[in-house]
Chains A and B, each alone.
Chain A
Amino acid sequence: MTGTPLANEIRRWRFERGEMTQEALAQACGVTRQTIIALEAGKYSPSLELAFRIARAFGVGVEEVFRWKTE
């Protein structure tokens, strides 16, 4: 899996949500912890559905968590 064109702020949002653990975020989104690790490292592009689930878990909009790297 190569690097993705999407950058994300998952790590920062976890920090801002009281050091939410990767495990807790994974459970909230219905994925495995390894997927959250891959997302944070920018090694995996989530589906639109998962992107919305992650944003919802943080209580923010998708564009506040994910952005196109060229922006």
Chain B
Amino acid sequence: MTFANPLKSSHPLWLIFGILVLTAGLWLVFWPPSDKVALGLAYGLGGSLVGWGSALAAIQLVLWRKTGIERMTAPAEVNAWLMLLFVGTITAVSLANSSLLVTGLSSRDAVHLAYKLGALVLFFVVLTHLLRVRREGAVLEDERDAQIRSRAVGWGRGALIFCVFGLMVMLGLSAPEKLEWATPVVIASQLWLALLCGWLVEYAAVIVQYWRDRSRL
């Protein structure tokens, strides 16, 4: 069996291969071996695999014909799903490394966290660029999408205000001896989580509105 040049034509096996390479890279970056010598190699190799896998999968997806999902959903809805997954993953990584956020970002572990977040950002940038290329010439957002986004932004802002207000009340009304944990780093990480919470609610609100619209059609 022969496959055409993966840069010029699409084939399911090339796409699967790209996704597998990407997954292997992400695996090495997120779950590196504990051995110190292998750690650097794992990050180097993992980063390279993320880059090559993303590029190959992206090219294959750009060349791919339009799927049913693309016909069924508005581009703004797909974007909201991607953003929800991206922000959700960042939140999960932040929570999983909450001990690091408490002790400060100067330790060696912080470099590992930076690698993980860097890999995520790279993956997301490649994915969004791929979608932009694929949707060239299409309407990405119209007045209905803007209306939905505007309502969702209100929800996101509400969630952010709720979190910040809760933190403010907690810090303002607690006795000083009960606030020994509240170092500047901890408060900064709490504010970071509040921001993530606001974004999560915003993108979830976008998705819910599209879903509700569709279910009533």
Interface residues of A (CB under 8 A from B): 1, 26-27, 30-35, 37-38, 41, 43-44, 46-47, 50
Contacts and interface: CB of A to CB of B under 8 A. Distances in A.
Contacts of B143: 31, 35, 46-47, 50
A16 B2 CA distance: 49
A30 B209 contact: no
B147 to A, nearest CB: 8
B216 interface: yes
Contacts, number: 48
B150 interface: no
Interface of B: 71, 73-77, 138-139, 141-145, 209-210, 212-213, 216-217
A58 to B, nearest CB: 18
Contacts of A44: 144, 213
Nearest to B216: A43
A43 B148 CA distance: 13
Main secondary structure of the interface of B (DSSP, over half): helix
B71 A35 contact: no
Nearest to B73: A34
Given A1-B209, A43-B217, A34 B74 contact: yes
A1 B75 contact: no
Contacts of A31: 139, 142-144
B139 A32 contact: yes
B22 to A, nearest CB: 29
Nearest to A22: B71
Given A38-B217, A47-B143, 4 more contacts: A31-B139, A32-B144, A34-B144, A35-B145
Nearest to B140: A32
Nearest to A33: B71
Contacts of B77: 34
